[in-house]
Amino acid sequence: MNNPTLCPYELKNNYRIYDFKKSWRFLEQLGKNQFGPKFKLDPADRKIIYQLLIYFIRDEENCKKHHLDLDKGILLNGPVGCGKTSLMQLMRHFALPKHYVVKSTREIAAQFNIEGYSVIQRFGRSHQAIFCFDDLGVESNMKYYGTECNTISEILLQRYDLFIAHGTVTHATTNLNAQELEKLYGNRVRSRMREMFNLISFDKGVIDKRR
């Protein structure tokens, strides 16, 4: 944000006043810097990007209009290749008051296979850390010394406890629907996810942008 020509906001009376067109250009430049010169935001995703932006800059008035609860996290749902992960990585630059860490659920499950239950503690019980769990549902159940564990399910239950006790926010992405998530993680986790997350969804017909 050091380049004034790309800055997505103006300072007025010590408040940041964001401009959506400038924010769009800023995001595209960030995407090109991070993912390569071919990166481009899809105008068809305008509504999704707008909702993410007003949430992360904590625009209370517009969030209410779009039924987004600032006390909850974001669950970004959409088909494979629609750009969920890229958008959540880029939104870290707008996140207030602090950034969050995007972590693949597959990687977390693999870490459990090596390190055991300390992994669940690391991601589940740190109320000072904000995580975005990427691709809920792609991970496999792992064993540690012969004991099988649905690692992400356990982490989500602990994140729910932090949400209730400390207001700790968690974000996630997935290409699964509610029924598939419930089948994978169980009714208990699915019920808590309804309390923890604002659901933002891409249209089912979105094409794979990685082709």
Domain residue spans of the chain: 70-201
pLDDT bucket at 127, cuts 50 / 70 / 90: confident
CB-based contact 89:31 (threshold 8 Å): no
pLDDT exceeds 50 at position 17: yes
The enclosing H or E element of 174 equals strand 171-174
Residue with more model confidence, 114 or 90: 90
Find the range with the poorest average confidence among 13-27, 77-91, 195-209.
195-209
Q: Count of alpha carbons within 13 Å of 137, Cβ hemisphere only?
A: 21
What's the whole-number average pLDDT of the chain? 90
How many other C-beta atoms lie within 10 A of the C-beta of residue 38?
7
pLDDT exceeds 50 at position 144: no
Residue 96, pLDDT score: 77
pTM greater than the 0.75 cutoff? yes
Say if domain 70-201 classifies as CATH 3.90.700.10.
no
Find the range with the poorest average confidence among 19-23, 92-96, 147-151, 186-190.
147-151
pLDDT exceeds 60 at position 142: no
Residues forming a β-bridge with 132: 102, 171
Quote the CA–CA distance of 25 and 108 in Å, as a whole number.
33
